[in-house]
Amino acid sequence: MPDTSSCQFEQRPRRLVMGTAGLQADFCKMCNVRPSSVCSAIENEDIGRLAEAAVETIVTPGRCFIEEGEPATDFFNVTSGTVKLFKALPDGRRQITGFAGPGHFLGLAVSDRYAFGAEAVDTVRLCRFSRERMRVLLDDFPRMERRLLEEASNELVAAQNQMLLLGRKTARERVASFLLDQANHGELNSEGQLHLPMTRGDIADYLGLTIETVSRTLSWMRAQGMIDVGKGYAITILAQERLESLAEGED
């Protein structure tokens, strides 16, 4: 059977060397994503337990750190940067199933193998937990399990929205939905600009389109005065309401 990993695709090393030392309690206590992550399920008094199970890991852009089909040895919590999650077909076609930003938990797979791959979009900082230590934490802190269920439920809702997008929306509706999602998930800079960390290729693989169609659609939106496409990956939303009705197919 040929190796079909998308990581190879990127022509990067397959395995990632990561540190093994646990963290100090203060590291978690100070963590700026804890409030919005599963880690919030553990109180300050017990935070040492969490910290000693975690290993901080930095992943450089383009590096693949979860490979579809490999044994699911670790769970991850994103503390900064953006991760793309994807599935691929043997011939290389690829679907990005989601982008995970700070606070997102990765590795929710029942089976003992990852059902998807994960790759750093920009520089990504992660807290890594081994399967065994995670299991112990969940046994000792049931609140964490509840928090994880919330996280999973949120992801399911997002997945259902994405299925509607992929199955039934036009290219324009897809791009409009994407821009609004990105704008809602927060990262607007000083002057209303949305900084997209991912390439056109990533956007295309996320929306089930080709690079060319994404590019053409953004150009069309610019021509319509809905957005302004700046240098690099900066986009300004000029007509949010028009984009919103477009995203819901009301045009």
Partner DNA sequence: CGAATTTTTGATTTATCTCAACAACCGTGG
Partner DNA sequence: CCACGGTTGTTGAGATAAATCAAAAATTCG
How many other C-beta atoms lie within 10 A of the C-beta of residue 35?
A: 9
Q: What's the closest the beta carbon of residue 42 comes to its own copies, in angstroms?
A: 16
Backbone angles phi, psi at 74, to 5 degrees: -135, 155
In a 3-state reduction of DSSP, which class is residue 204? helix
Site string for its own copies, 81-100 (x = CB under 8 A): ----x-xxxxx-xxx-x---
135 binds its own copies (CB under 8 A): no
| Residue 199 to residue 233: CA distance in whole angstroms | 8
Among residues 127, 237, 229, which one has the least CA distance to residue 176? Answer: 237
| Residue 114 to residue 98: CA distance in whole angstroms | 15
Q: Which of its own copies, DNA, none interacts with 190 (beta carbon under 5 to 8 A by kind)?
A: none
Q: Which of DNA, its own copies, none interacts with 136 (beta carbon under 5 to 8 A by kind)?
A: none
Q: Which residues contact 189 (CB under 8 A, 6 or more apart)?
A: 195, 234
72/188 with CB nearer its own copies: 72
Q: Which two tokens stand for residue 169?
A: 């929306």
Q: Which of its own copies, DNA, none interacts with 146 (beta carbon under 5 to 8 A by kind)?
A: its own copies
Q: What's the closest the beta carbon of residue 229 comes to DNA, in angstroms?
A: 5
Q: Which of its own copies, DNA, none interacts with 211 (beta carbon under 5 to 8 A by kind)?
A: DNA
Site string for DNA, 159-198 (x = CB under 7 A): -----------xxx--------------------------
Please identify which residue in 65, 76, 105, 116 interacts with its own copies, judged by CB under 8 A. Answer: 116
**The dihedral of CA 155, 218, 61, 72: what is its sign?**
positive
How is residue 232 annotated by DSSP? Answer: T
Burial class (CB in 10 A: 0-12, 13-18, 19+), 27: middle
Please identify which residue in 210, 224, 236, 245 interacts with DNA, judged by CB under 7 A. Answer: 210
Of 14-22, 137-145, 215-223, 239-247: span binding DNA (CB under 7 A): 215-223
Please identify which residue in 13, 19, 69, 201 interacts with DNA, judged by CB under 7 A. Answer: 201
How many other C-beta atoms lie within 10 A of the C-beta of residue 104?
A: 23
Helical (H) or strand (E) element with 166: helix 142-168
Is the separation of the CB atoms in 105 and 211 below 8 Å? no
Q: Which of DNA, its own copies, none interacts with 172 (beta carbon under 5 to 8 A by kind)?
A: DNA
42/88 with CB nearer DNA: 88
Is the separation of the CB atoms in 130 and 74 below 8 Å? yes
Binding-residue total with its own copies (CB under 8 A): 45
160/170 with CB nearer DNA: 170
User: Footprint of DNA on residues 123-162 (CB under 7 A)?
Assistant: none
Residues in the site for DNA, rule: CB under 7 A?
170-172, 199-201, 208-216, 218-219, 229, 231-233
